[in-house]
Amino acid sequence: MSKRRYYLEDRALDEAITRFEATLARTGGVHLLDSETIPLAQARGRITAAPVWAARSVPHYHAAAMDGIAVRAAATAGATESSPLTLTLGEQVVWVDTGDPMPPGTDAVVMAENVQVLDETTVAINAAVVPWQHVRPLGEDIVATELIVAEGVVLRPVDLGAIAAAGYATVTVRRRPRVAIIPTGTELITPEAAAAREAAGQPVQPGEIIEFNSLILAGLVEEWGGVPTRLPPVPDRQELLRAAVAEALADHDVIVINAGSSAGSEDYTASIIAEFGEVAVHGVAIRPGHPVILGVAGGKPAFGLPGYPVSAVLTAELFLRPLLYRLQGLTPTERPKATAYISRKLLSPMGEDEFVRVTLGRVDGRLIATPLSRGAGVVTSLIRADAIAHIPRFSEGLHAGAEVTVELLRPQAEIESTIVAIGSHDLALDLLAGYLQRTGAGRRLSSANVGSFGGLMALKRRDAHLAGVHLLDEETGEYNVSYVRRYLPDEEIVLVHLADREQGFLVAPGNPLGLRTLADLTRSGVRFVNRQRGSGTRVLLDYQLRQAGIDPSAITGYEREEYTHMAVAAAVQSGAADVGLGIRAAAQALGLTFIPLFSEQYDLAIPRRHWESDLLAPLRQMLVEPAYRQAVAALGGYDVTRMGEIVAVRQALPH
Amino acid sequence: MSKRRYYLEDRALDEAITRFEATLARTGGVHLLDSETIPLAQARGRITAAPVWAARSVPHYHAAAMDGIAVRAAATAGATESSPLTLTLGEQVVWVDTGDPMPPGTDAVVMAENVQVLDETTVAINAAVVPWQHVRPLGEDIVATELIVAEGVVLRPVDLGAIAAAGYATVTVRRRPRVAIIPTGTELITPEAAAAREAAGQPVQPGEIIEFNSLILAGLVEEWGGVPTRLPPVPDRQELLRAAVAEALADHDVIVINAGSSAGSEDYTASIIAEFGEVAVHGVAIRPGHPVILGVAGGKPAFGLPGYPVSAVLTAELFLRPLLYRLQGLTPTERPKATAYISRKLLSPMGEDEFVRVTLGRVDGRLIATPLSRGAGVVTSLIRADAIAHIPRFSEGLHAGAEVTVELLRPQAEIESTIVAIGSHDLALDLLAGYLQRTGAGRRLSSANVGSFGGLMALKRRDAHLAGVHLLDEETGEYNVSYVRRYLPDEEIVLVHLADREQGFLVAPGNPLGLRTLADLTRSGVRFVNRQRGSGTRVLLDYQLRQAGIDPSAITGYEREEYTHMAVAAAVQSGAADVGLGIRAAAQALGLTFIPLFSEQYDLAIPRRHWESDLLAPLRQMLVEPAYRQAVAALGGYDVTRMGEIVAVRQALPH
């Protein structure tokens, strides 16, 4: 087996776009799509293919604008309250309701208020009118042949109404681009097939991968105005991919192959695109998304997007989105931008344009951007992201606290109403996010898991509104209070109790190794999985080990660190470790056995100015809400008796 | 016929909302809708009805993160480039590709780059690895039972992907509220019926009104997450409306009746709602939209929206939108706001909250808001509006130049790229809007028709980028130049020629009265329709009348003013007048006969700083574009030979 070449090229982003454009222009691969005429009721969001000129005036007749009598204005001259004028009902003195056509020969309306009925044929009016008073003349709103909606306009509900008013029941719009999405990979299995198999008791096997990229790409194509077709996954065989592309070309405007875009032995995407047309670019100096392919197949734009979901989404946004807009004759709108401060150092490779997803929250007036995992395979970074920070080529990255311009992925209002929690992870916080959402108060909880110490440091840097903490003071046996005093001496902090929770061993079902005490961790062949330094669980373990006089170096796996309770549980479930220290809920969730050892106090540390803020009002309310309390208790291993109690209010030390 | 009472009540907006809320709460008329489980591929934009917890970890097995050989890390100790280590392929030394499951007993991957194949069973490695190096451990991205998406979240494409990755092919979402839209009015005719009749040569009659409100309301309901049903128009008979409501209540969550919400003799909406439930509010002190009805029918929210389109849209936004959001458990997002300067005085009645639609454009750094027609029936004000200005109750309005906060109806970026034209109207400008759109340069032309003088005044106030002008200097016979010098002495103005156009009489087809010269206007029985003072056409007329020694007071209808060429043409077409002065294109458009009298020069007056700006670059380009030139010539009555010529550059006078 020889060394493989992974990327055929390493083109700068701008250069890649220019090359792709040139190839499209040369091969005619991009042009406005043809049009179709559809009923107005189906035309919302579609784009006009031609200007719409009014076929009818609105109103299309002179209409009474008041209830009253239609008259010739000249016939009312001199009428006043003190000397009313008597008129005889007839062809030019006629009762009308608002909207009625003005009878021939009339040119004004005397309001009903100014008319007194004398008898069946005679009325008296106590006010004169001038020509066209209380009349909506023909064409007052729209004159036939007037421009109603220009070409290339995205139709809104009011446009549909105006087009109907101007005399049409249909409208001619640009056809939506049809996009074929072809997943490739022998290991891929559709979500539907996986669900069916699991329902039949046949779980998905190691090495099989759920094909979910096409679901994301199809949704994005829809958002960008296209009509996606998700094709079934094509196994890694050149002739099968060739057949799939040939078939897709027959009735689509754009081809998207995902993935096979690397240059490995089973990566046929580039060669198939070349067979049907040409490859303009293979490999762009961006991160993630390096091995993207841009080309033309059968005279149509063709893309090979990388297989990792974050790479697939980013390259679709960079290259597919502007193309779909152009096919529809639209200018792509830019995402709204904001200035934020990066909460931690971000190193970036010099040679690449890097796009880093971040979460955002406004803390003490500053918009704080916290980078999410930069792994191209981490789909949760896509769903948790609030914005994207672009680290340009030839930049080495950002230092902590640096100002950075970010592109917003959520409405600004949603970001402004985000409560930022940084600290120790707890399932009760996950639940809280859902309950806050349900209050309708419009609060969102964004929670980053960096351990209890990390949370206190985030409060110190003013990067968060609150921190979940469970830090044992090894001298006093008291939780959290002394740590807050020591690490946040200048802050006035409210410590609110969330729950008491059990800590214990997470072991395989039935506890096959019979682990009962900390001393059992030093037994030969027992593989432990630890939590990271700074986490409350780690502090608890180290304290208890010292109390028991056990040397950590005697524990196999003590150095293997995971960042959440669930990651520890997963390590035990998979057999990668035999035991970890964690909470009951994590064991319960993955069907492990839980051996309770200790109880610990999990509090929220909240600077008083945040605790008393409007932003956190719904959270204060939730901590005394029976429904939430019961939901936490139902997780197992939680004692919620003291939920919502103020444990302590730490005054800032005098300076 | 006695005086009618139009509004049963006159409640303040806040009070109306409170009363409506209280009625809904008391009658159970608002609650979260039930849920339904649907395929992920159909779930974009839907709202989760429950939290989604991961059913599967991602990855669901320990996966190789590189191509290479999977090994036990301990077995690689000591391997370096200078002293490679030889390993025998077997159960714990296995070739793997990225994504392959790690074979049992292995815990790290040596990258292919660091492996040398010695023979079929032996390899040499030149680097040691540590446990879990180049491995994506089970649950690295998602751990089974972890929260993926909270309840009440609007699903985006990436959420669908994450839910699929976490083990599902379906998702449980809230049902979309079903909204029945019932148009009422004997005079209503659907756009489809009108189109069918006109295709059959039977035009819509005076007094018949095209029912287009339901098309707008249905589109808005869709935008707000509901499923609309547009019912056929119900004639003004109480028993028919009763039957329609009864039927609609059977399978809808919300009832919208449009209109019959006044208190006139044929307005049954309030009494029918009261029959099925109760009316909470009838009449709110807002403008437009005063006669709105808020109530409950059959235990469901029921609305009577006013019949004029602007009133219907405003009341739907104020009252229906928040309700639909609540039924879906969503917080209504507020529209983005901006600070603008109002371009002209705006009087507002003290007793009402008024909502005025405005156009926006950024001129010389200031966002300028220009009020549109405030007629509740003017549907074009809905389509032209860029924002809404709210004039609160107990305010008398705004003086020209006052600062006002507006709610944006278009993306800020679109507003920033708007070219603001204020001045004389010309069809060539309408065409220009479409051509600018088509360039893809993202420019929008917003054009307000206030006549040539009005345009120069707008430039003086810095409310516009350009003004269309055709002002004849009565002394020199020259167009525009002397006016620019006189009225804009402090500005450096570029005058660009757009077209020479014919001015003449617009008369009924065949010119039945045989009108040939200005003197014919003074003939007995000839009814003239004039343009407003300040318009170029009016200046031309007055000049020519003086030249011909004709006294304007001898012309019947000289005092009747219309604001556009097309309005003049419409007056002639309808028979309300016999003749007007205007351009050939207007006559052509409405099938009138045109009697050419004069030729005039139509120029664009543009301050040099705008003329040379990026914003106007696509417009500069368009003036030399053959396609646009030909389209203007095709309108008829235009000489485009000199289009795009710089007529004059007026220097600012020295101070």
Q: What is the pLDDT of residues B217-253, one digit of tens each?
A: 999 999 999 999 999 999 999 999 999 999 999 999 9
Query: Are B356 and B369 within 8 A, CB to CB?
Result: no
Residue B636: per-residue pLDDT: 80
pLDDT band of residue B2 (cuts 50, 70, 90) is very low
**Residues carrying CATH 3.40.980.10, chain A:** 13-32+177-327
| Complete DSSP assignment for A161-201 | HHHHHTT-SEEEEEPPPEEEEEEB-TTEE-HHHHHHHHHTT
Instruction: Let me know: does A258 contact A293? Beta carbons within 8 Å.
Output: no
State the span(s) of chain A assigned CATH 2.40.340.10: 337-416
Gap between the Cα atoms of A3 and B112, Å rounded: 6
pLDDT of residue A652: 63
Q: Under CATH, to which class is A13-32+177-327 assigned?
A: alpha beta
B652: confidence class by pLDDT, cuts 50, 70, 90: low
A44/B222 Cβ within 8 A = yes
Say what the pLDDT of residue A6 is. 44
Taking CA–CA distances from A107, the nearest residue in chain B reads B576
Cβ of residue B191 closer than 8 Å to a chain A Cβ: yes
Banded pLDDT at A1 (limits 50, 70, 90): very low
pLDDT in tens, B584-643: 878 887 889 999 999 899 999 999 999 999 999 999 999 999 999 999 998 888 999 999
Across the interface, do A570 and B137 touch by the CB < 8 Å criterion? yes
Fold of B177-327: Molybdenum Cofactor Biosythetic Enzyme; Chain A (3.40.980)
Q: Would the CA dihedral through B78, B79, B80, B83 be positive or negative?
A: positive
| CB of A199 less than 8 A from some CB of B | no
CATH 3.40.190.10 holds for B444-650: yes
Distance CA B392, CA B390 (A): 6
Per the DSSP assignment, residues forming a β-bridge with B468 are B604
B421 in contact with A, Cβ within 8 Å:
no
> Cα–Cα distances in Å, from B237 out to A497, B184, B260, B445?
64, 9, 11, 46
How far is CA B491 from each of CA A367, B367, B451, B586, B610, rounded to the nearest angstrom? 42, 20, 20, 33, 11
B144 CB within 8 Å of a chain A CB:
yes
Residues of B in contact with A39 (CB under 8 A): 192
Q: How confident is the model at residue A7 (pLDDT cuts 50, 70, 90)?
A: low
Q: Do B433 and A147 touch (CB under 8 A)?
A: yes
Instruction: Give the best-scoring range by mean pLDDT among A161-170, B322-331, B530-539.
Output: A161-170
B40 to A379: CB separation less than 8 angstroms, yes or no: no
**A621: enclosing H helix or E strand:** helix A617-622
Q: Do B140 and A375 make contact, defined as CB atoms within 8 angstroms?
A: yes
Residues A111, A132: Cα–Cα separation, whole Å: 13
Q: Quick one: how far is CA A607 from the chain centroid?
A: 29
Comparing CB atoms, the residue among B136, B156, B264 nearest residue A377 is B136
Confidence of residue B648 (pLDDT cuts 50, 70, 90): confident
- Confidence class for position A3, pLDDT limits 50, 70, 90: very low
The residues in B 555-574 lying below 8 A from A, measured between CB atoms, are 560, 564, 566-567, 569-571, 573-574
Q: Which residues pair with A279 in a beta bridge?
A: A295
- Using a CB-CB cut-off of 8 Å, the residues of chain A touching B144 are 570, 589-590
Distance from CA of A416 to the nearest CA of B (A): 12
| pLDDT-derived band at A469, boundaries 50, 70, 90 | very high
Interatomic CA distance for residues B449 and B434, integer angstroms: 17
Size of interface A-B (CB pairs under 8 A): 334
Q: Which member of B51, B378, B590 has the closest CB to residue A144?
A: B590
Cα within 13 Å of Cα(A332), Cβ side: 15
Q: Which chain A residues contact residue B329 at CB under 8 A? A: 438, 440
Query: Cβ separation of A440 and B329 shorter than 8 Å?
Result: yes
**Cα A236 from chain centroid (whole Å):** 32
Domain B63-136 -> CATH class = mainly beta
**The CATH classification of domain B337-416, taken from the options 3.30.2130.10, 3.40.50.1820, 2.40.50.140, 2.40.340.10:** 2.40.340.10
pLDDT at A2: 35
A143 touches chain B (CB under 8 A): yes
The yes-or-no verdict on residue B282 having pLDDT over 80 is yes
Share of chain A above pLDDT 90, in %: 71
Of the pLDDT bands very low, low, confident and very high (cuts 50, 70, 90), residue B562 is confident
Intervals of CATH 3.40.190.10 along chain B: 444-650
Q: Is B34 exposed, middle or buried (0-12, 13-18, 19+ CB in 10 A)?
A: exposed
Q: A430-444, B300-314, B545-559, B564-578: which has the minimum mean pLDDT? A: A430-444
Question: Beta B593-607 vs B467-469: how paired, if at all?
Answer: antiparallel
User: What class has domain A35-58+141-174?
Assistant: alpha beta
Question: Tokens standing for B40?
Answer: 């992920």
Could you identify the residue written with the tokens 């993935």?
A: A259
Interchain proximity B137–A576, CB inside 8 Å = yes
Written as one letter, the residue type at A434 is: G
- pLDDT value of position B264: 63
Query: How do residues A413-431 score in pLDDT, each as one tens digit?
Result: 889 999 999 998 888 888 8
Query: B64-86, pLDDT tens digit by residue?
Result: 998 899 999 989 999 999 999 99
Look at residue A4 in the predicted model and tell me its pLDDT: 40
CB B71 within 8 A of CB B123: no
Band (pLDDT 50/70/90 cuts) for residue A262 is low
Both tokens of A351, joined, read 């040679």
The structure tokens listed for B489 are 């002495």
The neighbour count for residue A12, using CB atoms within 10 Å, is: 16
Q: How confident is the model at residue B262 (pLDDT cuts 50, 70, 90)?
A: low
Q: Please, what is the average pLDDT of chain A?
A: 91
pLDDT-derived band at B4 (thresholds 50, 70, 90) equals: very low
- Average pLDDT in the A83-87 region? 95
Predicted confidence (pLDDT) at residue B483 exceeds the cutoff of 90: yes
Model confidence pTM above 0.95: no
What average pLDDT does chain B have?
A: 91
Residues with Cβ within 8 Å of A169's Cβ and at least 6 positions away in sequence, in order, are A39, A40, B190, B191, B192, B194, B195, B196
Q: Which of A61, A161, A412 sits opposite B216 (nearest CB)?
A: A161
Residues of chain A neighbouring B589 (CB-CB closer than 8 A): 143-145
Backbone angles phi, psi at B607, to 5 degrees: -55, 140
pLDDT score of B653: 57
Q: What is the rounded average pLDDT of the residues B413-433?
A: 89
Give residue-wise pLDDT tens across range A331-359.
888 888 999 999 888 999 888 999 999 99
**Taking residues A453-472, what's their average pLDDT?**
94
Which tops the pLDDT comparison, B303 or A136? B303
Interface residue A137 vs chain B (CB under 8 A): yes
Name the minimum distance, in Å, from the CA of A506 to any CA of chain B: 15
Radius of gyration, alpha carbons of chain B: 35
- B333 backbone dihedrals φ, ψ, rounded to 5°: -80, 145
Question: Do A109 and A134 touch, CB atoms closer than 8 A?
Answer: yes
CATH fourth-level superfamily of A464-650? Periplasmic binding protein-like II (3.40.190.10)
Please answer whether residues A401 and A328 qualify as being in contact, where contact means their C-beta atoms are separated by less than 8 angstroms.
Answer: no
Check CB contact under 8 Å for A222 and B44: yes
The pair of structure tokens assigned to A399 is: 């230092």
Mean pLDDT of B421-428: 87
Cβ atoms of A164 and B210 within 8 Å: the answer is: yes
Q: Which B residues 324-383 touch A at CB under 8 Å?
A: 326, 329-331, 333-334, 336, 375, 377-380, 382-383
Of A191, A194, A235, A226, nearest in space to A212 by CA: A191
Q: Where in chain B is the domain with CATH 3.90.105.10?
A: 35-58+141-174
Distance in Å, alpha carbon of B379 to nearest chain A alpha carbon: 6
Query: Using the beta-carbon criterion (under 8 Å), do B150 and A61 form an inter-chain contact?
Result: no
Residue A98 region by backbone torsions, left for phi larger than 0, else alpha for psi between -120 and 50, else beta = beta
pLDDT tens, position by position, B81-101:
999 999 999 988 999 988 899
Which ipTM value was assigned to this complex? 0.89
Residues in A touching B194 (Cβ below 8 Å)? 167, 169
Q: What is the mean pLDDT of residues B449-456?
A: 88
Question: Of all residues in chain B, what percent carry a pLDDT higher than 90?
Answer: 71
Our measurement of the distance from residue B649's CA atom to the centroid of its chain's CA atoms, rounded to an integer in Å, reads: 37
Mean pLDDT for A485-495 is 92
Strand A493-507 and strand A593-607: pairing? antiparallel
Tens digits of residue pLDDT in B507-534: 999 999 999 999 999 999 999 999 988 7
